[in-house]
Chains A and B, each alone.
Chain A
Amino acid sequence: MSFWRSLNSGFRSLMHSKRTERELDEELQAFHDASVGEKMRQGMPADAAERAARIEMGSRNAVKHHVRSAGWESWVESFLSDLRLSLRGLMRSPGFTLIAVLSLALGIGANTAIFTLIKQVLLQSLPVYKPQQLVLFGKSLSNGILGGVDVGTYDQYTYDFALQLERHPGPFAGVASYSSFPPEVSVRVPGAGAAEQVTTSLVSGNFFGVLGAEPMIGRTITPSDASAPGQNAVVVVSHHFWQKVLSSDPAIVGRTININSTPFTVIGVMPERFHGMSRDFDPPDLWAPLTMAEAIMMQPGMLAPRSFYFLHMFARTSPQSSVAADQQWLDTQIRNYVLAGEGKTITPERRAEIGRLTDKLAPGGSGVSHIGDKYGTSLNILMAVVGIVLLIACANLANFLLARAVMRQREIATRLALGSSRARIVRQSFMEAILLSLAGGACGLAVAFAATRTLIAFVAEGATYSPLSARPDATTLLFTLGVSLLAGALFGLAPALHVGRSSARLASNANARTASGAGGRKGRFWPNALVTVQIMLSVLLLVGAGLFLRTLEKLQDQNLGFNQTHLLIAGFDPHLAGYTPEQVPALNQRLIDRLSAIPGVQSVALSAVPPMSQGAWHSSLTIPGYTPAPREDMGSVLERVSGRYFETTGIPIVAGRAIAPADHAGTAKVAVINEVIAKKYFPHGDAIGRTLKIGIDSVAGPWRIVGVAQNTKFFGPREKPSPIVYLPLAQIVGKNGEGIGDSFAYTMLLRTKRDPAGSIADLRRAVASVDPNLPLLQIRTIQEQVETFVSHETLISRLTTAFSALALLLACIGLYGVMSFGVLRRQNEIGVRIALGATQGGVQWMVLRESLWLLALGLVLGLPVALGAANAVRSQLYEMSPFDPSILAVAVLVIAAVTALAAWLPARRAAMVDPVVSLRCE
């Protein structure tokens, strides 16, 4: 209660400070009058009584000051007056204030930008009930359809296994599953115009229940919606789809939309932030029950027992069960399922192998994020980098404020002598720092917004819908505020300490400037220490930037195995235009013929995927005459290619011949292998003419090897060359030469004479002339395709370079400032030296020597730190030592050159000092 009264009266006196002041005056006057009256009553004459009363009271202002400081509002008042004083001080030196706020805005903005991304990519939880209870069966990052593997391989599961665990979840509160990739479907809304291509997630009936997600409108899919294959044509739509395609129709529930020509009933709309398990760009827009797999994927047999491994699984843990028990239960389920699928006789080796099967439970509260997987490490490294940049900016400001404090020595001493409390002077010095950092933080928010938008655009690689947002939320604002205050405290500390130590005696010292100027080593400790730290941190950043730049260069400049120019790649999917397998061989031929006729196109090919790809068709091989060791990996990438593929991609044939247009359904089945396979299975160079068989029934073979192709970096510039078998697309047909599910090609490749981007319009026209309904999904040049594989190296090297340049600039400004200030303070000394006969060169060297010492010290301290940091990011580098001497040399040279420049200017100025002027200054 007394707190409230105090608060209340405090506010009253703040609000009505004039009235409070008047009342106090009146009370003092009354006191004085009463005192005079009493003294006169005791017999004093009027004037003596008056004087005595006045002496008793002393200074009226002092009394008033003491009365006022009884309440907290006096603190506020002095705070406000300090604030005004600090603001005025900053306004008086607009240049300094501008540089300070600008460097802080860049530092704090960069920190906020990276933090915004880290928060959204790595830290944010799914918008569901108790997300921390969710666990993934494996990291669930690989997507696709596998066959002929054990359950749990690449975290992929079959429908029957998932259903079994859904019904009997063991120690879990629930186990659910969803398709590991979102199939693309063609959606037509009755009454609306053209069909939309959207991605769909197939989910188990209990998916939403286990996830704990509530719909915004209608209801979600329940187990009764996944009762029997083909029977449950219901769909839940995303907020984004609802807005974009369904025009935010509030009465959408119960309406019908056509998905791949099958009518589905819309049963619910999810909230804006919900994207299922996905935390990626272009997340699924529709959720349909797994039992509708055939209609959605346009592929039969997905749900047959022990057929296709295409599901990811997750579970909600029960508080009663431990992680170890959960893991053990899952492994037992996997092993039992695999055992039950084995033949009657199981070899002991196989039994032991099955006994080792496992899929490690992973925390699922943040969902599944490929962005996080790809950029997580980069973002963490960048967070450290921007932290260092901010530290350098802080060191700079600390130095500037320190210099100001020294300049104000006399003012401070005077204030102390006049009775100002040391605490108040320190507080004001701190306030200046905090004001600067808050202004920097506010501008930093704008910087961060722009930077985050650019970063998201870069990371999104042209995705149409992004779950990331540059808009700062409460956490981000809090982070920015925290960082600003921390930075302010950091760079306000040194000057505040300096002010706190100042003595009042200096004021009376006529030679104050000389005294402080000659403050000697002790006075220069802090500035020098701060500059050394800046040099040290700059070395660290420069070495980092050098390593990342070199890595990117190495990745891009290596021989990837195919020709990296003049190649245009376009994705397409005949499924979406309603093609059946039987129609595909004819379509492929028509496309090849039509595309070859485009002017400026040298050659054309079709294939399943581009020469560098995230995923691939994959199978185990059998080579007659080769006996594999137990558990030997006999796997290989399979690529199906049309006749002029090798000519078009520029992959050289090192032996035998390439696949030719003449290899068609009617001729003998032939294959081309790459050097990895040739070396492994045919070490004597006798591959040509031998045969191989493939573990997938539709393309089992045998295939006669007619050529060996050079190795390519199929899975990306960092990967080792993978084994690849190339099969003629035209020969992947059924027994009677009819098209089958694997006859589909999804990639068009065009070798052009000129800039491939110039042929995009022609390509679109050509495809439209074959079939106007055939959608082109993604058109890229081969350079763009390769760039997507080095995007995080590009990001980290570009940003680290930019930040280290910024850091260097800041360090430079800092050194220049410290040196200039030092020269200014030592003007007398230098004047005397020159008067006594010191040469200009001598004076220059004296000043320069000091900064060279700082440089040397910064390097000696910085290089070990830089080497340690380089070692820590070793895994991010490519085919290079983290201790690359050339990079270290360049970093040292750059920093030495820049330091010398920053020190040389003040040194030159020192040498120009006119002894007469500088001595007369005193």
Chain B
Amino acid sequence: MGNGDVVQGTLEMLILKTLALEPMHGYGVALRIEQVSRGVFRVNPGSLLPALARMERAGRVKSEWRASENNRRAKYYMLTARGRKALADERATWDRQTAAIARILEA
């Protein structure tokens, strides 16, 4: 994790959480994850964009082309209702698992 990789299986949850705040383009998501995690996680486009494509296929996010801050066209992703539900579910699972792991480590 120190090398910047996201914990396996959590990338989608992190993207969902990030997009839950506001619609963002791909780089915005990457930047936000890096900033909020204080540089612990670095998401490169090679895994971010395929993940976004997968999630779009699954109907968890949708996308549209908009003008970005610097007036360039960019593809913005936003959460769908299904995505919101998926986020809640994954979050619950994650909380349960980390709590369990914590208990085991402390035992």
> Do A71 and B73 have beta carbons less than 8 Å apart?
no
**Given A9-B57, A38-B31, A58-B44: A69 and B74 within 8 A (CB)?**
no
Cβ of B2 under 8 Å from chain A: no
Shortest Cβ distance from A111 into chain B, in angstroms? 43
> Do B54 and A70 have beta carbons less than 8 Å apart?
yes
User: Which of A1, A58, A62 interacts with B59 by CB under 8 Å?
Assistant: A1
> How many angstroms between the C-alpha atoms of A34 and B59 in the bound complex?
26
> Do B50 and A69 have beta carbons less than 8 Å apart?
yes
Across the two chains, which residue of chain B brings its CB closest to A58? Answer: B46
> How many angstroms between the C-alpha atoms of A27 and B68 in the bound complex?
12
Contact with A along B25-52 (1 / 0, CB 8 A): 1111011000000000000111101100
Shortest Cβ distance from A27 into chain B, in angstroms? 5
Cβ of B70 under 8 Å from chain A: yes
> Do B75 and A23 have beta carbons less than 8 Å apart?
yes
User: Which of B28, B50, B72 interacts with A70 by CB under 8 Å?
Assistant: B50
**Given A62-B46, A63-B49, A66-B50: A30 and B25 within 8 A (CB)?**
yes
> How many angstroms between the C-alpha atoms of A141 and B49 in the bound complex?
75
> How many angstroms between the C-alpha atoms of A426 and B99 in the bound complex?
44
User: Which of B44, B70, B73 interacts with A26 by CB under 8 Å?
Assistant: B73
Cβ of A85 under 8 Å from chain B: no
> Do B68 and A34 have beta carbons less than 8 Å apart?
yes
Cβ of A2 under 8 Å from chain B: yes
Cβ of B58 under 8 Å from chain A: yes
Across the two chains, which residue of chain B brings its CB closest to A59? Answer: B46
> Do B46 and A66 have beta carbons less than 8 Å apart?
yes
> Do B75 and A27 have beta carbons less than 8 Å apart?
yes
Residues in B with CB closer than 8 Å to A33 are 72
> Do A57 and B44 have beta carbons less than 8 Å apart?
yes
Query: Most chain-A CB neighbours within 10 Å: which of B31, B45, B72?
Result: B45
Cβ of B53 under 8 Å from chain A: yes
Across the two chains, which residue of chain B brings its CB closest to A63? Answer: B46
Query: Most chain-B CB neighbours within 10 Å: which of A9, A56, A63, A70?
Result: A70
> How many angstroms between the C-alpha atoms of A35 and B42 in the bound complex?
13
> Do B50 and A56 have beta carbons less than 8 Å apart?
no
> Do A27 and B49 have beta carbons less than 8 Å apart?
yes
Residues in A with CB closer than 8 Å to B68 are 30, 34
Residues in A with CB closer than 8 Å to B54 are 70
**Given A26-B73, A28-B49: A2 and B59 within 8 A (CB)?**
yes
Interface residue range, chain B: 20 to 34
Shortest Cβ distance from A4 into chain B, in angstroms? 10
> Do A70 and B57 have beta carbons less than 8 Å apart?
yes
Please provide the chain B residues from 64 to 107 with a CB less than 8 Å away from any CB of chain A in the complex: 68, 70, 72-75, 82
Cβ of A209 under 8 Å from chain B: no
Across the two chains, which residue of chain B brings its CB closest to A72? Answer: B57
Residues in B with CB closer than 8 Å to A68 are 53
Contact with B along A570-612 (1 / 0, CB 8 A): 0000000000000000000000000000000000000000000
Residues in A with CB closer than 8 Å to B31 are 34, 38
Please provide the chain A residues from 534 to 552 with a CB less than 8 Å away from any CB of chain B in the complex: none
Query: Most chain-B CB neighbours within 10 Å: which of A1, A5, A57, A67?
Result: A67
> How many angstroms between the C-alpha atoms of A9 and B55 in the bound complex?
13
Residues in B with CB closer than 8 Å to A63 are 45-46, 49-50
Residues in B with CB closer than 8 Å to A26 are 73, 75
Shortest Cβ distance from B36 into chain A, in angstroms? 15
Please provide the chain A residues from 19 to 43 with a CB less than 8 Å away from any CB of chain B in the complex: 23, 26-28, 30-31, 33-35, 37-38
> Do A57 and B59 have beta carbons less than 8 Å apart?
no
Count residues on chain A whose CB falls below 8 Å from chain B CBs. 27
> Do A66 and B49 have beta carbons less than 8 Å apart?
yes
Across the two chains, which residue of chain B brings its CB closest to A33? Answer: B72
Cβ of A6 under 8 Å from chain B: yes
> Do B27 and A30 have beta carbons less than 8 Å apart?
yes
> How many angstroms between the C-alpha atoms of A174 and B28 in the bound complex?
81
> How many angstroms between the C-alpha atoms of A172 and B58 in the bound complex?
59
User: Which of A28, A38, A58, A67 interacts with B53 by CB under 8 Å?
Assistant: A67
> Do B74 and A70 have beta carbons less than 8 Å apart?
no
Residues in A with CB closer than 8 Å to B74 are 27, 30, 34
**Given A27-B49, A63-B45: A34 and B57 within 8 A (CB)?**
no
Residues in B with CB closer than 8 Å to A57 are 44-46
Residues in A with CB closer than 8 Å to B25 are 30-31, 34
> How many angstroms between the C-alpha atoms of A31 and B56 in the bound complex?
18
**Given A27-B26, A30-B73, A31-B26: A71 and B57 within 8 A (CB)?**
yes
Across the two chains, which residue of chain B brings its CB closest to A4? Answer: B59
Across the two chains, which residue of chain A brings its CB closest to B59? Answer: A2
Residues in B with CB closer than 8 Å to A5 are 57, 59
Shortest Cβ distance from A110 into chain B, in angstroms? 47
Residues in A with CB closer than 8 Å to B57 are 2, 5-6, 9, 70-71
Query: Most chain-B CB neighbours within 10 Å: which of A6, A31, A58?
Result: A31
Contact with B along A1-16 (1 / 0, CB 8 A): 1100110010000000
> Do B45 and A56 have beta carbons less than 8 Å apart?
yes
Across the two chains, which residue of chain B brings its CB closest to A73? Answer: B57
Residues in A with CB closer than 8 Å to B46 are 57-58, 62-63, 66
> How many angstroms between the C-alpha atoms of A57 and B45 in the bound complex?
6
Please provide the chain A residues from 622 to 647 with a CB less than 8 Å away from any CB of chain B in the complex: none
> How many angstroms between the C-alpha atoms of A37 and B27 in the bound complex?
11
Residues in B with CB closer than 8 Å to A23 are 75
> How many angstroms between the C-alpha atoms of A379 and B46 in the bound complex?
62
> How many angstroms between the C-alpha atoms of A68 and B54 in the bound complex?
9
Query: Most chain-A CB neighbours within 10 Å: which of B49, B59, B73?
Result: B49
Residues in A with CB closer than 8 Å to B26 are 27, 30-31
**Given A6-B57, A9-B57, A57-B45: A31 and B50 within 8 A (CB)?**
no
Residues in A with CB closer than 8 Å to B56 are 9
Across the two chains, which residue of chain A brings its CB closest to B49? Answer: A67
Residues in A with CB closer than 8 Å to B47 are 66
Residues in B with CB closer than 8 Å to A35 are 27
Query: Most chain-B CB neighbours within 10 Å: which of A23, A35, A66?
Result: A66
11 CB contacts below 8 A, A to B, read A31-B25, A31-B26, A31-B45, A34-B27, A35-B27, A56-B44, A58-B45, A62-B46, A63-B45, A67-B50, A70-B54
Given A27-B26, A28-B45; 16 other pairs, CB 8 A cutoff: A5-B57, A9-B57, A26-B75, A30-B25, A30-B26, A30-B75, A31-B25, A31-B30, A34-B25, A35-B27, A37-B70, A38-B27, A56-B44, A58-B44, A62-B46, A66-B50
Q: Give the 6 A-B residue pairs with the shortest CB-CB distance, closest first.
A: A34-B27, A70-B53, A66-B50, A70-B54, A2-B59, A30-B74
